[in-house]
A and B are shown apart, each in its own frame.
Chain A
Amino acid sequence: MRIVYCLLLGLLLTACAQTVSRVDPGQPIDLSGRWNDTDSRQVAEKMISELLNSPRYKEYAKELGKRPTIIVGLIRNRTSEHIDANAYIKKFEMAIFNSNIADLVESDTFRDKLREERAQQQDFADPATMAQWGKEVGANLMLFGEMTSETDVMNKQRVVNYITTLFLTDMESNKRVWYGQHEIKKYIRK
């Protein structure tokens, strides 16, 4: 019978309860090797510091004679993973906003909502509080981005290199005013 008892005991010993703990959001935790929050945070931090210290951008702002206004355009994801670029773009936007180096205007998704509401106000709001048409601020620069990844696989090993590039382009001249790039290379062994 000992074999039976050993088996039962063995199974019981390996049983453990599920635990949940809160960790510091800045703490890097890598599980599968895919893109995760740590990568998004790294990209945001790198891009913010590159923009804040960019001589080309400072020169542009000086020539313009005022704080440039930025609108977020298209971020293209050419990787094989469904990555939500908003995770780092929102951090990037917030840093721009808080550092006062530029103004931000709403991008198309939210802008359309504002226009709908403004149209409603024309009919239903008190004229004294009604938002006026034609007062939107035109952006000077548009933010674009692209993410690519190169993967090399052999047996149970995988190397993935993620390249995230952001750039600011002048609305009138199409000239690129600023570039930021961050690479993250991962080596995963199954």
Chain B
Amino acid sequence: MVRTTRNQEIHSQIITMHHRCIFTKLVALGTIILASGCATYYQANQSFNQDFERGNLESALATLQANTKEAKSKREFLYYVNNGLVLSMMSRYKESNAYLEKAFLFGEDYRMNYLNEAASYLTNPNVTTYRGEDHEHLMLLYYKAINYLKLGDTQAALVECRRLNIRLQQLSDRYKNENKFQRDAFIHTLMGLIYETDKDYNNAFIAYRNAATIYEEDYSRLFNISVPEQLKKDLVRMAWLNGFTSEYEFYKSKWNMPEGDFEMPPANQAEVIFFWHNGLAPVKAEWGINFLVDRRDNWVYFYNRELGINFPFSLEGYDQKEKDGLARLEVFRVAFPRYMERPLYFQEASIITNGAEQPLALLEDVNKIAFKSLQQRMHLELSKALIRVALKKVTEYQVKQEDKTLGSVLGVINAITEKADTRNWQTLPHSIYYTRVAVPAGQSKLTLTLKDGNRSTTHDFSYTLNKGQILFHTFTSLESRYPNYGFFDSDSYRD
């Protein structure tokens, strides 16, 4: 009898020691997570972001490149694209393209790591590799193509153009719902411009026509962007150059275009294709959504009335302990990412050359596309987040049944590790505008005017161009206003 009691004592001491050991480890782990994990991706890169937003590009690049570990981290895609974008802004196009190529190959070779994916269900989605949003994979090729065009390497730009075409096809095949962002008009326009630079007017025509169709069918409805006037002129001009008489007549009358509005620039002239990158893309913040839990028969319903979301989970096949664990849940909070818009500082811009002023037309609203991309997979993301939290809660409940202290500690750790994935490409512009300006061969000048209400800022540029040369110029204004959450349409996330 004594012996048994002694054995029990030893056993219980071992258990206590074991628990203490786990307890210490858990507290240490919790502290580490607390110290490193609470900030969003934007906040964690505060120093780089500050330099970048102020236009201190040398310093921003130094900060970025000092942190070489990022290249081998779960954020390698963002490391490459940020380097690529900053170097492109600094006119270091070859270096920029070396980074962007790595980002492209990352996208090509990306394969899901299922262990990390599984681990994310027990901790948070930040343990998975950031794979990049659809539009981010398109944008990196835009920067790459533009870099090549600035280096005068049209053939290399055409390679990017073909890669873009494949990416666009993948995008349109992935989504079947026409209310989703599945066709990118801006990228088609860019492809048209590249083909036109290569004097491949047939492909330029196809690209412009596809772009115009997407602006009319998708962009006007989803993003409130209509067909840019410049694109109309380019499309009609290409139809004419290809001898596509019926298409030429069709578009000319459809858009009511005056005769002579789409002529080729005189042979002794050159052209500047001017892209304006206005403002900054949105950043992601964390957002807690509270769910109420209702259990009926063998089903558990997680619902949020405000958002009109209801996720049913079947309890079929789960043992009683797990059912009890789920049944004891009444309300819980799920961490979810949400975009914060960085509203535009400048509303519009125009270019003046030889006394004539022409506005820059909106081609792409990266901000709205980002919001749209997140909304359209919100259902999937929310259900993943729900499973994650439910799993944590069930484990917590079961541990609590066996050991109250350990259960409580696990509860604290679960609360700490519950975190949304706030990573995204944040150095992208908010919106992209463009226009084409015919300038005389030789020396020429133009003035860019950025307008903010009644105030305006001007920038002068001078060029030396050959006859018939097409020059690509990008201008980035990083100014933006204080972030806000933008508009969230609770109905629009649905499939």
Contact = CB atoms under 8 A, between A and B. Distances in A.
A78 B115 contact: no
Contacts of B115: 11-12
A66 interface: no
B169 A34 contact: yes
Contacts of B387: 7
Interface in B82-140: 111-112, 114-115, 117-118, 121-122
Which bracket fits the contact residues of B?
Answer: 20 to 34
A80 B210 CA distance: 7
B244 A78 contact: yes
B395 A4 contact: yes
Contact of B391 (A7, A14, A190): A7
Interface stretch (B200-208, B275-283, B288-296): B200-208
Nearest to A81: B206
Contacts of A32: 169, 173
A80 B121 contact: no
B176 A82 contact: no
B169 A2 contact: no
B118 A7 contact: yes
Interface of A: 1-4, 7-8, 11-12, 14-15, 18, 32, 34, 76-82, 156, 190
Interface of B: 111-112, 114-115, 117-118, 121-122, 162, 165, 169, 173, 176, 191, 202-203, 206-207, 209-210, 242-244, 247, 318-319, 322, 387, 391, 394-395, 398
28 contacts: A1-B395, A2-B318, A2-B322, A3-B318, A4-B391, A7-B391, A8-B118, A11-B114, A11-B115, A11-B117, A14-B114, A15-B112, A15-B114, A18-B111, A32-B169, A34-B169, A76-B243, A76-B244, A78-B244, A78-B247, A80-B206, A80-B209, A82-B162, A82-B165, A82-B191, A82-B203, A82-B206, A190-B176
Among all A-B residue pairs, the 5 with the closest Cβ atoms: A15-B114, A11-B114, A11-B118, A8-B118, A77-B202
Given A12-B115, A76-B242, A77-B206, 16 more contacts: A2-B318, A3-B322, A4-B121, A4-B395, A7-B121, A11-B118, A12-B114, A12-B118, A15-B114, A18-B111, A32-B169, A76-B244, A77-B202, A80-B210, A82-B165, A82-B203
